[in-house]
Each structure stands twice: as structure tokens, then as C-alpha cells.
Amino acid sequence: MANVAVIGAQWGDEGKGKVVDWLASRADIVVRFQGGHNAGHTLVVGNQTYKLSLLPSGLVRGKLGIIGNGVVVDPEALLAEIARVRAQGLAVGPETLRIAENAPLILPLHAALDQAREAARGARRIGTTGRGIGPAYEDKVARRAIRLADLGEPETLSARLDELLLHHNTLLQGLGAEPFSKDVLLARLTELAPLLLPYAEPVWERLDEARRAGRRILFEGAQAVMLDVDHGTYPFVTSSNTVAATAAAGAGVGPAAVGTVLGIAKAYCTRVGSGPFPTELHDETGRLLGERGHEFGTVTGRPRRCGWFDAALVRQAVKVAGIQGLALTKLDVLDGLPELRVGVGYRIGGESFRHLPAAPGAQAAAVPVYETLAGWQGSTRGARSWAELPAAAVKYVRRIEELVEAPVILLSTSPERDDTILMRDPFEG
Ligand code: IMP
């Protein structure tokens, strides 16, 4: 029995929530391995809508949730989210949620620096969620982060705060923002310690045991391949590796334990924040896609930029992340459009490319090369079998498979959990 890693194959918001929820119901353990509370997953279960940012989605299905060491954990955001879902009737506590003892923490100074830097960038801003994700990862690799286990050692905490504040207060003051007081931070972390430490453990050990006992593990990615700090549209990316390989390092398991890699892609494309988006539409069709697809950020509420499906981009994501099968979502949003376009490559300064080059100038200048496909008049909404789909919709999906060089193994035709066409169960490998 394989484990499964689920990752976004575009710029995020591909509708991971629904797919992850379906997979979580078939898993024993759900693990978050990167990102932080910049992610937003909406899960509709019965008459309840859960909006999760940091908690693994499996909790909603009563499965053990694990937050791996690759995640940056904001204690205040975590406790607030736990309180929110508890108020909705979910049992979340140390019995159902475990957090890697070596996970780095996000402190208020990280969000302050994130926001101050974005303000200073002006028109060149990245469009971050402002939640301190980037600065927290920077502190991790700079070896000055406070990690969950440090909350149990007052001397470590005090020494780490000295080092952190030396760095951050200098920067914050340089950017015209308020510095932070060590006493205030230390007092708050001391208050938080007994609330958080009961969740802490070496999760790698639990995952190793689970694996040996034949338990099914679902690795739940956040953001998406084109926001990966190495493989994405740098610098307009998040600060973690979002590819499936990160599931191993970000949870403390070997690469072979990650299992089947499932990529999620929308039948069109969206992006929030700044950065290149070659197939973006600034016309009526773009507006229509946004309206029909309810394209507003879960975390920040920002309207998403919309455009045609970019097969060259998704093919690149398939290759760099080792995606073995795709879940294609929101096909119904394209219903009734007279014709559809799919990006198959780019023209940049008179040259043809099958991929998006790394240099920012080239990315900004990339003009998509389109293939035009027939639209369909009938509805795909709620379809649960291929037979229910209009012929042109089947053709569209088949053409996408050819272009991205990966099979579509799951097709989602509405936000409802059961409106799904499943070709292959990823847990079966
Ligand atoms: P950060 O992760 O807050 O540093 O933001 C960096 C970039 O990633 C920005 O363009 C954000 O809009 C984008 N981003 C971060 N998290 C998500 C997500 O869950 N979905 C879509 N975009 C995201």
C-alpha cells in the first residue's frame, strides 16, 4: 500500500481542500510538511465549512494530524485555529494533533518584518500574505530560530531572543517600524509554553512506527510548485520548497516513504500576489472565470488573477515535482465557453520555449503560444462518470494529459465531495 503526497501544480488554490479531504478519509495519518498559516484549505463536511490554515485536513475526518518540522508554526495562529474548529465541534488536542518538536516558530516580529519589507518594496512587492513566513524560514536557515522544543528550556529561549532581536530590531528600525521588547516576547512565550509543549514530540518516530505497521500516510502540501522557492517564479514565490520531495525532509521520513505524488491543477489557471503569469486574461473571459470560480483568496480575501490553462507550466511542475497523476478541478467553470485556449509554450524575444526560463526578464516577457480547442455547450457540473461529460470536455481533458505528460486520475466537477470522477486510487500506487 502506497502513501500519497498531494501538491499544487500551478500557483496554489487549485482546490486541494476537496481532494485532500477525500484522500484523508482513506488515510490513517495526515501530515503537513511545509508552509505555515499562509495556506488556506476550505473543507465542506455535512453542513459545516472548515477553513484550515495550519491544521492538517485529516483532523476534520477524525484522523491523526501531524505538523512536520518543515512547517513554520505561529503559536498564536495555531491556538486560535484550534479554538475555532473546537467551537465547530471538532476534537482537537494532543491526542489528535502532534507537532514536530524541531518545528521553527513564527513570532510577531516575523509578520512585522514581512509587512515592513513589502511596504518598502512598493510597486516591486511580492504580494506575500504578510504572515511572517519568509522571515521565519530565513531565521531557520540562519540558525537563530526558536523551535518548539526550545519553549521547555528558559535559558535557551532567553539567549535565542537576544540573538533574534539584535537582528530583527535593527532591520525593523531601519524600515521605520516599531522594535520589539524582549521582556514582552519572553513573557508571552513563557505563557504559551505549557499550552504548546503537550503537542510536541519527535514525529519522525511516530511516522516510522506507523509505516512499519502498514498505516496509510497522506502528506498534505501547501501552496504549489510554481511558488516553490527553487522551482517557482522566483522571487515571486513562497519561502519553502513545495515539491513532493520536501515531504521527506519536512516530516522526517525517507524519500521512498512519500509514495505516489498527486498534483492538483485547475482546468484553467489562477494566481494571487504579484509575479509573471503568461496566460493571464485581462478581458471579459478572465472576469468570468473569476466570478464563476469564486476566485478570492481563502487567507487574504484578495481577488485572484485568472487565465487559460498553461500546459507548458504544468508540464514543468510535473517534471520537477515527480507528479505521477493529476487531479483536475473546476472543469465546470469552463462550461459554455465557445472556445478554450491552452498554453503550450512561450515566445520570448523571437525565440520559442517549451518551458518558462528562470530569468525574471524572460519570464515577464514570455508570450504564450496557444492551442485552441472547442468548448462545450452542455454542463459538466456534478458529473460522476466520463459518460456524463460532453465529448468536447473529454477531448479537452485528454489533450491536457498529452501536453503535461501525466494522466488525469481524478476529475472534480463541483465543490461537492461526491462530484468526482476517479480513474485510479492513488493509495493503490
Ligand atoms: P508568503 O508565502 O506569504 O511569503 O507569500 C509569497 C507568495 O506566495 C505570494 O504571492 C502569496 O500570495 C503566495 N501564497 C502563499 N500561500 C499561498 C496559498 O496558500 N495559495 C496561493 N498563494 C499563496
Residue 4 scores a pLDDT above 70: yes
Residues 6+ apart with CB under 8 A from 113: 132, 135, 168, 171, 172, 175, 177
pLDDT band at 245, cuts 50/70/90?
very high
Same domain? For 233 and 189 the reply is no
Same domain (yes/no): 113, 231: no
Please give the full DSSP string across 136-151, using - where no structure is assigned: HHHHHHTT---BGGGG
**42, pLDDT greater than 90:** no
Whichever domain contains 295, its CATH number is 3.90.170.10
Q: Decide which of 161, 196, 231 is a domain's last residue.
A: 196
Question: Do 304 and 423 share a domain, yes or no?
Answer: yes
**Is 91 found in the same domain as 15?**
yes
Examine the domain organization and report whether 72 and 219 are in the same domain.
yes
**Could you tell me if the CB of 29 is within 6 A of ligand 1?**
no
Give per-residue burial for 180-206: e unless 16+ CB within 10 Å, then b. Answer: beeeebeeebeebbeebbebbbebbeb
Asked if residue 188 and residue 277 are part of one domain, the reply reads no
Q: What is the number of domains present in the chain?
A: 3
Range of the domain at 273: 265-428
Reduced to 3 states, what is the DSSP secondary structure of residue 223?
A: coil
Per-residue pLDDT at 303 exceeds 70: yes
**For ligand 1, mutation pick of 13, 128, 277, 295 (most atoms within 8 Å of CB):** 128
167: pLDDT strictly greater than 90: yes
Task: List phi, psi (to 5°) of 56.
Answer: -65, 140
**Same domain, yes or no, for 86 and 137?**
no
Confidence class for position 423, pLDDT limits 50, 70, 90? confident
Confidence of residue 266 (pLDDT cuts 50, 70, 90): very high
Residue 264, pLDDT score:
97
From the list 37, 41, 110, 231, the catalytic residue is 41
Confidence of residue 358 (pLDDT cuts 50, 70, 90): very high
Give the pLDDT of residue 1.
Answer: 59
Q: Which residues pair with 217 in a beta bridge?
A: 29
96 and 172 belong to one structural domain = no
For residues 283 and 399, state if they share a domain: yes
> What separation in Å is there between the alpha carbon of 227 and the centre of ligand 1?
7
Q: What is the DSSP letter of 397?
A: H
Substitution candidate for ligand 1 out of 13, 14, 38, 54 with most atoms within 8 A of CB = 38
Same domain for 230 and 304, yes or no, is no
332 a catalytic residue: no
* Distance (Å, whole) CA 23 – CA 21: 5
- Indicate if 139 belongs to the active site: no
Contact 412, 18 (CB under 8 A): yes
Whole-structure pTM value: 0.96
Same domain, 57 and 204: yes
Q: How far is ligand 1, taken at its centre, from the CA of residue 12, in Å?
A: 8
Please write the tens of the pLDDT for every residue from 362-389: 999 999 999 999 999 999 999 999 999 9
Q: End of a domain among 179, 196, 213?
A: 196
Mean residue pLDDT of the chain comes to: 95
Are both 12 and 88 inside the same structural domain? yes
What are the tens digits of pLDDT across the range 112-163? 999 999 999 999 999 999 999 999 999 999 999 999 999 999 999 999 999 9
Angle (CA) 102-103-108 rounded to 5° is 130
Residues 6+ apart with CB under 8 A from 315: 354, 355, 403, 404, 405
Q: Return the pLDDT at 45.
A: 80
